[in-house]
Structure 1
Amino acid sequence: MRLLLFSDLHTDLAAAASIVERATDFDAVVGAGDLAVKRRGLAGIVEVLAAIETPTVLVPGNGESAEELSNACDGWPAAHVLHGTGVEIGGVPFFGLGGGVPVTPFGAWSYDFTEDEARDLLAPCPEGAVLVSHSPPLGHADTAASGRHVGSTAVLEAIERTRPRLVVCGHIHDSWGVRSRAGSTPIVNAGPKGIEWLLE
């Protein structure tokens, strides 16, 4: 299965148009959150992305809520918005977790979850799925400009427990494009340019 991975478009319409243009060459498109900026601009970016007819898996970032994203994608037949839920595409299970984990320092606008809340949301994740998490796992593709690892322990624990075929994340801009591996699981912080991935 050929996947086109992206994250953190942050209302960049040109980047969204590039994803749309490339999407026809893939079996599925995966967006790991933050289409909006501080809960604004979501409708406009989804309007561009909704031209994608390839099955598309999306999770909310910390810049938009699951409800906001689901409502914005209501008229986009190919979109599957996941948050503590999953979907199967072409026989491959996908599972999603949105929001910032752990809670960010950004304030009330940020759609965040504690590690314990994230553990509960990740509990139904099946073994061997493609895990789409806005927040990266701790220690993998999660290095901030300060040099600190700022990823999620709950996401890392879910990887250790379920051994996903792939983890797609975003959130930490300083690690866009970074690839890592936890055990046998590849981890990709996708970023807005879009990364091609052949699922093994």
Structure 2
Amino acid sequence: MRLHVVSDVHGNARDLARAGDGADALVCLGDLVLFLDYRDHSRGIFPDLFGTENAHRIVALRTARRFEEARVFGAALWAELGVDRAAAIEQAVRRQYAELFAAFPTPTYATYGNVDMPALWPEYAAPGTTVLDGQRVEIGGLVFGFVGGGLRTPMRTPYEISDEEYAAKVEAVGEVDVLCSHIPPEVPELVYDTVARRFERGSRALLDAVRRTRPRYALFGHVHQPLAARMRIGATECVNVGHFASTGRPYALQW
């Protein structure tokens, strides 16, 4: 059995269309949407609306952790644009989703990232795409558990939830062979982004589940340029697969 796993697609529909080649199934761990590329500030919904120079500015503010200034700056841009913010973002996300979901092969198993909009997924997911969040599925004789979304941060991305709600989803998944999530377990080496120069939010509940249930693998993304791309926690191989937007290469899991 060969499975290809991707996360943090961020608008890369071209490579997504080939991500399942040679595999029995594709797993996607979320963040299909590209709102703002921290490596190339000309790409994404934000620069499309406000231009690259304004994207440079807001990335600089966020990287410096000046989140309140970034919010004020962004609000001023929206006010100057004079359109309904929620409607404009949803329209842009819909355009991306139409292209990205059409690129999924059959079968695909997917969960949400923190920048995704779960309410829209039923409109775009084809019958060959199974969406899971706080749920389990058997693939090739192994049990996979899926936990989507992210934890609350000053970034206020669309699908951030409380630690308690997230922990409940981890608990609902229970003991599995492969634990799939968008965000990593809360380990410093796994949550630090070397380009954004900050610690992203990882999940203590995921870390506790890895130590307690000892899955074969814990697969995740969210941190695009991690200090450590993989490490072992006890019996579990933890692997960051969140490089798809820049590399276009899936992670291959075989058994």
Normalising by the smaller structure, the TM-score range is 0.7 to 0.9
Match of 1:133 in 2: 181
Match of 1:195 in 2: 251
Match of 1:159 in 2: 210
User: In structure 2, do the counterparts of structure 1 residues 113 and 168 end up closer, same or farther at CA, with 3 Å as the change threshold?
Assistant: same
Letter in 1 for 2:154: P
Match of 2:192 in 1: 143
Structure with bigger gyration radius: 2
Structure 1: gaps spanning 5 or more residues: none
CA distance in 2, matches of 1:177, 1:183: 16
CA distance in 2, matches of 1:178, 1:70: 32
CA distance in 1, matches of 2:163, 2:99: 31
Match of 2:25 in 1: 28
CA distance in 1, matches of 2:17, 2:133: 25
Match of 1:80 in 2: 130
RMSD: 2.1
Match of 2:153 in 1: 104
Offset at 1:195? 1.4
Where is the helix percentage greater, Structure 1 or Structure 2?
2
- Are residue 180 (structure 1) and residue 180 (structure 2) matched? no
Match of 1:48 in 2: 103
Offset at 1:127? 1.8
User: In structure 2, do the counterparts of structure 1 residues 124 and 99 end up closer, same or farther at CA, with 3 Å as the change threshold?
Assistant: same
- Are residue 116 (structure 1) and residue 164 (structure 2) matched? yes
Counterpart of 2:220 (choices 152, 155, 169) is 169
Match of 1:17 in 2: 17
**TM-score when scaled to structure 2?**
0.67
* Structure 1 stretches of at least 4 aligned residues deviating more than 4 Å after TM superposition: none
User: In structure 2, do the counterparts of structure 1 residues 176 and 46 end up closer, same or farther at CA, with 3 Å as the change threshold?
Assistant: farther
Offset at 1:177? 8.2
CA distance in 1, matches of 2:203, 2:224: 15
Offset at 1:14? 1.9
User: In structure 2, do the counterparts of structure 1 residues 170 and 70 end up closer, same or farther at CA, with 3 Å as the change threshold?
Assistant: farther
1:135–1:170 contact (8 Å) kept in structure 2: yes
CA distance in 1, matches of 2:108, 2:3: 10
Between the aligned residues of both structures, percent identity stands at: 32
1:138–1:150 contact (8 Å) kept in structure 2: yes
